[in-house]
A and B are shown apart, each in its own frame.
Chain A
Amino acid sequence: MQAPGKGRWAWLAALFVSSFAFSQGERLSQCAACHGPDGNSVTQGVPSLAGQPQLFLENQMILFREELRRSPVMTPILAGMKDAEIVALAEHFSKLKARPVAQSPSDREVARKGEALAKKLRCGVCHTANFQGQKQMPRLAGQREDYLVSEMLAYRDGKRSGGDTIMAAALYGVKDEEIRALAHYLSRLP
């Protein structure tokens, strides 16, 4: 998530509910408002969480809470959240089944280009061969295409804060259209 205006629902959720204490059920419906009831997002610019490695989700929530990964939407939601609740939420979403969400029509040629690029850049070394992610490294398979594009651009251009510098280095010199091809390919994987 990034610029305001990308997910109106997220703003509303943040405004209305951030000042209360939650049961986990309430908290989960707060997450679901933007990330989808089954953790597969149908909201533009909002990532799917289903099937993400638990540690990856924990780390991102901590980074939001600590304002190291900056997001006007996520930081208020995470503000003051205890580690134990973050761990429980991460565990919940990591166990949901990921599925690609329908977006733009598929372009076989772009997808093929993306596949070749993913191989060349050796994305699978960390994100695993079928891009399901592991430990601190996210699942890419079936992630929203628009989200993959915006985050890869942000990494490459040094605009995504928090975390290590690894992705900036991995995407060094990769062109915009190559990033779009990667996202097109990855977002359609099971």
Chain B
Amino acid sequence: MNLKIVALAVSTAFALTAQAQDKPKPPPAWHQGKPPAQAESKLAPHAGKMTETPASQIPVSKLKAPKGFKVELWASGLPGGRAMAVSEDGKKVWVGTRSIGRVYEVTDEGGKRSVRTVIDKLNQPAGVAVNGGALYVFAIDKVLKFNDIASNANAQPEDLTAKFDLPKEQHHNWKYVAFGPDKKLYVPFGAPCNICELPSDEYAQIRRYNADGSGKEVIATGVRNSVGFDWHPKTGELWFTDHGRDWAGDKGFHDELNRLSKAGLNFGFPYCHNNGTPDPDVKKEKACEGMAKPALLLGPHVAAMGIKFYTGKMFPKEYRNVAFIARKGSWNREKPSGFDVVTVRVGADGKGGKITPFLTGFNESKEAYKFWGRPAYIAQMPDGALLVSDEQVGAIYRISYGSAKPAAKK
């Protein structure tokens, strides 16, 4: 059945290519690659919310988790808050944003949370990572390091931008960043388009650097837009989510969960998607030859974001080493998909993956876009509780299990 859809997309793609030829080169755009069949589609990215949502207007009671788990509002008043980096003692959580240009710091003292803005006026500072006592902030065009910020609220940023060789295109170049078990800093560079031949070989890849920006190494290519990764607790291998291309209908393409079994793998973009489907627009001979396949397909257009392999002791044993993945929710789909946190049970070798909904209730309809929240990232606290950020209402939820001591009210 999938083949039929692909065939249709391929035939309609010729018309599109012809149409695009009266411009010098295709624009890097979220709607680039839209086939004539979807030309009049009203689908467009959802609006983010840049104003504070009061705690009283966040319907956390609508969130459903499996029996025995407790979901509570842990922090709010962080418009646009998404990726989280937790200090080593778990007392501070730094939170990156996109449009609003801020990085927040949430401080947990005696069960009460306070929020302050560490820095603002940046160009989509989505990436935050902690290394020792230092906080790294990645905007699209800037890298800042706050030394000792965990102990010194007045820490001033050191500008490391020049060390990281950031390319100039902005689209899909907001970041998720994290330090690996090898103490290296992992940084993705998205494709600056929905689907296109890359303007240079600086894009659609994941790199790693030494903490000071030296030793740049491209470790994965053909990665369209990864904004979430973690390392498998048993193998230490990098696993990353990757957003599939848009404008290919409700059934395609899927977002992926990928396993980097060795450095240097190519994951197919722009020529090959998912389990070996050539792209309908950007073509080459033997498009899928030699391309790494995903460990698991995560659903079409779901916007798979943060991933965290659970290593805590608070949750029941069957959750140990299970991947929690936040699926922020689709826009390029008539029927919504995602808007949840799922657990993925998959072998360390990438085989036998199974997706189970874990946290649901963000979208109040299966048929229509009636969402109030959008889960984006997952962090594990020292006590084994998980934090889930909600980019739509600028809040963080805490998920705990059993008789674990609840967080005191904010």
Contact = CB atoms under 8 A, between A and B. Distances in A.
Task: Give the 9 A-B residue pairs with the shortest CB-CB distance, closest first.
Answer: A169-B29, A172-B27, A136-B47, A83-B51, A62-B50, A135-B47, A169-B27, A173-B23, A83-B52
Given A137-B44, A165-B170, A169-B171, A58 B51 contact: yes
Contacts of A136: 47-48
A66 interface: yes
Contacts of B120: 66
A27 to B, nearest CB: 16
A169 B39 contact: no
A164 B101 CA distance: 12
B51 A86 contact: yes
A59 interface: yes
Contacts, number: 73
Interface residues of A, number: 27
B contacts with A: majority SS: loop
Nearest to A70: B121
A125 B44 contact: yes
A50 to B, nearest CB: 20
Interface of A: 55, 58-59, 62-63, 66-68, 83-84, 86-87, 122, 125-126, 135-137, 162-166, 169-170, 172-173
Interface string B173-200: 0000000000000000000000000000
Nearest to B122: A68
Interface centre among B27, B40, B50 (most CB of A within 10 A): B50
A136 to B, nearest CB: 4
Contacts of B79: 62, 83
Contact of A172 (B29, B40, B48, B51): B29
Contacts of A63: 50, 99
A164 B52 contact: no
Interface in B19-48: 23-24, 27-32, 39-42, 44-48
Interface centre among A59, A84, A170 (most CB of B within 10 A): A59
B23 A172 contact: yes
A172 B28 CA distance: 9
Interface string B39-72: 1111011111111100000000000000000000
A169 B28 contact: yes
B102 interface: yes
B143 interface: no
